[in-house]
Copies of this chain bind each other. A is one copy, B any other.
Amino acid sequence: MATYTGEKHAYLEVEKFLRDSIDNRMYSPGSLLPTEKSLCEMFGVSRMTIRQALNNLVNEKIIFRIRGKGSFVSNVMIEKPPVIQGFTDEITSMGMRPGSEMISFDRIVPSEGVRAALQLNADEMVYCFHRLRLADDAPMAVEYSYLPTKLFPNLDRFNLMENSLYGIIKHQYHVQFSFLAQQVRAVKLTRADAQRLLGTGSGFSLQVSRTLYSISNLPLEYSQTLYHPSKYSVNINIAQD
């Protein structure tokens, strides 16, 4: 008999039991789970309740089922989907200490490319940050960030050296993200950026252009991050369904 786990509903009890058992390797990848019938007896519930729990786990790809045979623990590791994060969170999750040096901070009329990416009218202005981004005090990237002034009034009052931009958008302006579109290119660095990032007069870089959208599909930020070519790479993992 399974112990009571404090879940409100029977199917959640069953789910929790199976989840924990799989985590504990009591049921290891590829192994056969108890049949629906035995789970019914274990928990004293009907078969449809057990099936709800099992189907939820199937949808999370934790288990898979074969008619006539049984339910099995998935053998492939579950990969967590990528998350929307800026430079600060990314470097932190890589186990390094992020930092910033502000190169310039202006309120400008955007270039045509930036204007299009942010879907702005001709007369609307943007904040433009130009920052050298550090990881463990070493130059990791040069970043240009553009944000519409109409969406972020008084953005200059926040301390962008201490706080992440994405954190300010989320927690100070209370705007929710929904979508991040990124484009990765190899580009030639300007003289000034090559000097800042590489310490040389010229060079190339891995450029990531990002457009961040709110839940109402409004562009919130457009940025171009020029990463140090030998210190940084973008990883993309694709699992077949």
Contact = CB atoms under 8 A, between A and B. Distances in A.
> Which 3 interchain pairs have the tightest Cβ spacing?
A204-B204, A186-B206, A184-B234
Given A179-B238, A240-B177, A184 B204 contact: no
B59 A182 contact: no
Interface stretch (A37-45, A79-87, A89-97, A142-150): A79-87
A48 B83 CA distance: 34
B187 A238 contact: no
A241 B48 CA distance: 27
Interface string A44-82: 000010000000000100000000000000001000011
A221 to B, nearest CB: 14
B178 A233 contact: no
Given A186-B186, A204-B188, A205-B186, A181 B84 contact: no
A84 B240 contact: yes
A238 to B, nearest CB: 4
A1 B83 CA distance: 44
Among A205, A233, A241, find the residue whose CB has the most chain B CB atoms closer than 10 A. Answer: A233
Among A82, A179, A207, A240, find the residue whose CB has the most chain B CB atoms closer than 10 A. Answer: A240
Contact of A237 (B179, B204, B217, B237): B179
A198 to B, nearest CB: 12
B237 A181 contact: yes
A180 to B, nearest CB: 4
Contacts of A182: 235-238
Nearest to A226: B186
B238 A83 contact: yes
B183 A233 contact: yes
Contacts of A235: 181-184
Nearest to A188: B204
A184 B233 contact: yes
Interface string A145-186: 000000000000000000000000000000011111111111
Given A84-B238, A176-B240, A180-B238, 6 more contacts: A81-B241, A84-B240, A182-B236, A186-B187, A204-B229, A206-B206
